[in-house]
Amino acid sequence: MSDTIKITIDGRTISGQRGQTIMVAADAAGIYIPRLCAHKDLTPYGGCRLCTVMVNGRAQSACTQPITEGMVVEHDTAQLRDLRAGLIEMLFVEGNHYCPFCEKSGNCELQAMAYRFGVMAPRYGYMFPKRDIDMSHPDVYLDQNRCILCARCARASREIDGKGIFDFVGRGPHRHISPGEAGLGATNLAATDAAAGICPVGSLMKKRIGFAIPIGQREYDHRPIGTDVDRGRA
Amino acid sequence: MGDDLQKTIENVCSRYGKVRGRMMDVVRDVHAAVGSLSPAATELIARAMGVRTVEVESVVSFYAFFSDRPKGKFVIRLCNDVIDQLSGVHRVAQAFREELGIDFGQTTADGLFTLEWTPCIGMCDQAPAALVNEKVMTWLSSDQAREIIGTLRRTGDIDKVRHTLGSGNNSHRLVRSMVSNNIRRRGPVVFADLPAGQALHKAISMSPVEVVKQIKNSRLRGRGGAGFPAGMKWEFTRASEGAEKYVLCNADEGEPGTFKDRVILTECPDLLFEGMAIAGYAIGARHGILYLRGEYEYLRAFLESVLEARRQKKLLGQGILGKDGFDFDVRIQMGAGAYVCGEESALISSCEGRRGDPKNRPPFPAQRGYLGFPTSINNVETFCAAARVLDEGAAWFAEIGTKESAGTKLFSISGDCQAPGVYELPFGVTLRELIDAAGGSDVVAAQVGGPSGQMVGRADFERKLSYEDLATGGAVMVFGPGRDLLEIVRGMTEFFVDESCGYCTPCRVGNRLLLQGVNKVLAGHAEEKDLADLEALGQMVKTASRCGLGQTSPNPVLTTLRSFRPEYQRRLGQFPAGRQPTFDLHKAVLDAEAIAGRPSIHHNA
């Protein structure tokens, strides 16, 4: 049994290794599949669903689906582009995202993804939820307004830092990330932890480094998110 | 008090060997012992179990039956599903409100009563119904609601509430419930006698591989709704490598309108456990778990006694029926009020003592399931059918039903019909035949398969109930003329909003947006374009959701838009271009004035 597997993505044949996910194989081939919860250093989560692709006609998340020989993947279709834009818009209306004065602006993956998809205004109405901000930790704060429930901090804390500080509490619309009832200040989170630096949005943020890099010179100010993969440099 | 709490929690945790995987049981028992899971209790549990406090909070906050605040001595959970609403639950609710002087979600000042709504408790054939602690109260009227409160106030004893014991084993000394079975049709598979052990005897006279082959040849498919071939599931689980293997029974029937498993659990538990043991033999599993929904707590002691009796008869335990090396036993895992746990991977999460988030697949449970071991999860009815297959033979079973759907099916029918209840009929029976059997002479619409199924009109009544045509896990809710289908759709969509685990974006957010859309139509604020938007949104949620809940939750909206579009169209408004009917200028000004703390200039508001 060969360990090299051939699949097609939008008609293009690429090869990957047995055990790889569609996303990893696509990255290596220079095909960028959009993602927010997926991160190269973390186990796949499959929560944001932005990487939804059609596999042999069935929707699957590219970050969790392993490749199999001869798999036919549809990725950059009109239907899936609209679906992904819709999911991005859902995340915008679900929380409170104040891009113009958010410290994360320009480095924010949600904002960058919206630009990549040409989202100007969401098709859905804003929900304006009332959410908490936890400032109890000396070096890090947690702003629930911007959280997109991607679980990156929870996974990083468990898998990389070995601390398991975060978990989800509540169900459905009430689900939110939590460092425990006692707050962030009661945990052993350090600003140097992987968890503290892995948030894709402006939710889990380090204190006192705001605007160190001016707006206009940030990660996504001049090139769309995913450009590194697009250029085949992943 | 602090010391008492610590002692109680220490005892409970020790009872389960402080095993992380038994967190559900720990949390349940502590909740039962001290009435709530306060931050102090949660922290003590975490310390005793050697986990972070947030891990315990994560579990506690997921399940509707766990509370972090003290509740009344009597918690009244009134069922608000669609059928209960059609059966006058609002009058009952009003009686409870008046009698207690509180609203839903509140506790009386004397700490005696808490009043709550709950989704379907599996009693649609005897609605309106409620749970008072774990006791089921059926066919409620407003007078009875007052009487229940009066008796509880006077005696403080739930057993003093006047009630007639229900049929069959509902009168058993370990059940003593007023629930009725309402078995209206008995078929040859589930509701036929089978002496305990007879099918198991036949099974162990064959090799495990032959047993799997029998199930495959019978063409038995999963009875929970998805219809996956049971034999294949067993074969995959058998073929997977693992130091242990598990047989899980999904008795978490939470699909509103479904109550057939409740009747099986009450009347045919031996047949069910026989099927589980046969599965254990076929797969090579030593352990079985019955995941019983929290709402069916009242059946637990009875089911435990059935398990014990089977151990005595050597039908469970070590060396079953004297066969060396055939060891199999079953434990009951209680749920705690979460519909999504009926999804098989969420059910596994819950059995593992975690919040009921579904898992990513692959790996499938047959490869890596409960605690990472190969696991076969089947529906209650599927195990019963499997036992019958072993007794009567695969060919006998395959003769019943249709080509793609062998055997009989239990249908739970409720709503606008004369004889709601459970019907065991061969697959392939038409929807019309089922409705006629139940005396639904003026039915105009039927929700087949519960909210996650589809709403069909008379044009579809000749269709066959089967996997190849109109598929259903068994729930059929029927509606007569004069019922507002859009209100029904709203109720079902609200249910999915509440029951979504919230893990993935489309289900967590999309269902709320669907509900907003339905409300917009109901308020008369929608235009033709809104209907197209609703359809697009529904498709998006179906396509992108991570598990079966989100993949089916738009069905009430989508299937009624298809079959009953005039119900929507008659409520559409005509608005001049650019006008937003959802924006109420007058209210916006009032809100702004309130926020600014100014007296209103709109005197005639």
Asked if residue B604 has pLDDT above 70, the reply is no
List of residues 6+ apart from B229 with CB closer than 8 A: B216, B219, B220, B221, B222
The answer to whether the complex's ipTM is over 0.90 is yes
Are A180 and B61 an interchain contact pair (Cβ–Cβ within 8 Å)? no
pLDDT at B412: 97
Banded pLDDT at B1 (limits 50, 70, 90): low
Are A123 and B498 an interchain contact pair (Cβ–Cβ within 8 Å)? no
Banded pLDDT at B144 (limits 50, 70, 90): very high
CB distance from B358 to chain A under 8 Å?
no
CB distance from A92 to chain B under 8 Å?
no
Dihedral angle of Cα B501, B507, B513, B517, to the nearest 10 degrees: -110
Asked if residue B225 has pLDDT above 90, the reply is no
Cβ atoms within 10 Å of A97's Cβ, excluding its own? 22
Q: Please give the C-alpha separations between residue A10 and each of A53, A121, A227, in angstroms, as whole numbers.
A: 10, 29, 19
Asked if residue B151 has pLDDT above 70, the reply is yes
Which of B57, B62, B499 is the closest to A180 by Cβ?
B57
In A19-78, the residues whose Cβ lies within 8 Å of chain B are 44-50, 52, 59, 61, 64-66
Examine residue B363 and say whether the peptide bond preceding it is cis (omega within 30 degrees of 0).
yes
Mean pLDDT of chain B: 95
DSSP B20-38: GGGHHHHHHHHHHHHSS--
Are A46 and B501 an interchain contact pair (Cβ–Cβ within 8 Å)? no
State mean pLDDT over B372-397: 98
| List of chain A residues whose C-beta atoms are within 8 Å of the C-beta of residue B513 | 90, 93, 124
State mean pLDDT over B126-133: 96
**What tokens does B280 get?**
């254990």
Are A172 and B510 an interchain contact pair (Cβ–Cβ within 8 Å)? no
pLDDT at A210: 84
What is the rounded distance in angstroms from the CA atom of residue B465 to the CA atom of residue B431? 6
Asked if residue B427 has pLDDT above 60, the reply is yes
Q: Please give the C-alpha separations between residue B485 and each of B80, B93, B317, B457, in angstroms, as whole numbers.
A: 16, 22, 51, 11
Cβ atoms within 10 Å of B565's Cβ, excluding its own? 11
DSSP 8-state secondary structure symbol assigned to residue A170: S
Q: What angle do CA A43, B508, A72 make, to 5 degrees?
A: 55
Dihedral over Cα of B187, B190, B195, B199: its sign: positive
Cβ atoms within 10 Å of A214's Cβ, excluding its own? 9
What is the rounded distance in angstroms from the CA atom of residue B526 to the CA atom of residue B573? 6
Question: Is the distance from CB of B546 to CB of B439 less than 8 angstroms?
Answer: no
pLDDT at B99: 97
Could you read off the pLDDT of B168-210 as tens digits, one per residue? 999 999 999 999 999 999 999 999 999 999 999 999 999 999 9
Q: What angle do CA B273, B276, B282 make, to 5 degrees?
A: 145
Banded pLDDT at B162 (limits 50, 70, 90): confident
Nearest Cα neighbor of B282 from B410, B398, B382 is B382
pLDDT at B375: 98
Suggest the residue from A168, A176, A187 to mutate for an interface test with chain B (most B CBs closer than 10 A). Answer: A168
pTM: 0.95
Could you read off the pLDDT of B309-340 as tens digits, one per residue? 999 999 999 999 999 999 999 999 999 999 99
Cβ atoms within 10 Å of B69's Cβ, excluding its own? 10
pLDDT at B394: 98
Banded pLDDT at B550 (limits 50, 70, 90): very high
Which of B54, B62, B357 is the closest to A180 by Cβ?
B54
pLDDT at B586: 85
Distance from CA of residue A46 to its chain's centroid? 10
**What tokens does B472 get?**
């259903």
Nearest CA in chain A to B536: A83
Question: Is the distance from CB of B469 to CB of B491 less than 8 angstroms?
Answer: no
**What tokens does B170 get?**
């509902």
- Give per-residue burial for B326-342: e unless 16+ CB within 10 Å, then b: bbbbbebbbbbbbbbbb
**What tokens does B263 get?**
């009747």
Cβ atoms within 10 Å of A55's Cβ, excluding its own? 20
Banded pLDDT at B116 (limits 50, 70, 90): very high
Are B502 and A180 an interchain contact pair (Cβ–Cβ within 8 Å)? no
List of residues 6+ apart from B477 with CB closer than 8 A: B82, B83, B124, B256, B257, B413, B414, B415, B446, B447, B450
**What tokens does A120 get?**
């100007």
Give me the phi and psi of B300, to 5 degrees please: -65, -50
Are A173 and B497 an interchain contact pair (Cβ–Cβ within 8 Å)? yes
Tens-binned pLDDT, residue by residue, of chain A (234 aa) = 578 999 999 999 999 999 999 999 999 999 999 999 999 999 999 999 999 999 988 999 999 999 999 999 999 999 999 999 999 999 999 999 999 889 999 999 999 999 999 999 999 999 999 999 999 999 999 999 999 999 999 999 999 999 999 999 999 999 999 999 999 999 999 999 999 999 999 999 999 988 889 999 999 999 999 999 988 744
What is chain B's Cα-based Rg? 25
Pairing of strands B475-479, A4-9: unpaired
Q: Nearest-CA distance from A52 to chain B in Å?
A: 6
Suggest the residue from A90, A91, A157 to mutate for an interface test with chain B (most B CBs closer than 10 A). Answer: A90
E runs forming strands in B195-286: 246-251
What is the rounded distance in angstroms from the CA atom of residue B339 to the CA atom of residue B549? 9
pLDDT at A221: 93
pLDDT at A1: 55
Question: Is the distance from CB of B581 to CB of B575 less than 8 angstroms?
Answer: yes
Q: Please give the C-alpha separations between residue B120 and each of B258, B451, B491, in angstroms, as whole numbers.
A: 8, 11, 11
Dihedral angle of Cα B248, B249, B255, B261, to the nearest 10 degrees: 180
What is the rounded distance in angstroms from the CA atom of residue B261 to the CA atom of residue A53? 37
Pairing of strands A4-9, A72-74: parallel
pLDDT at B203: 97
Cβ atoms within 10 Å of B111's Cβ, excluding its own? 12
**What tokens does A105 get?**
């602006």
pLDDT at B605: 44
Rounded-to-5 percentages of helix, strand, coil across chain B: 45, 15, 40
Pairing of strands B130-132, B135-137: antiparallel
CB distance from B343 to chain A under 8 Å?
no
pLDDT at B300: 98
Could you read off the pLDDT of B475-491 as tens digits, one per residue? 999 999 999 999 999 99
CB distance from B501 to chain A under 8 Å?
yes
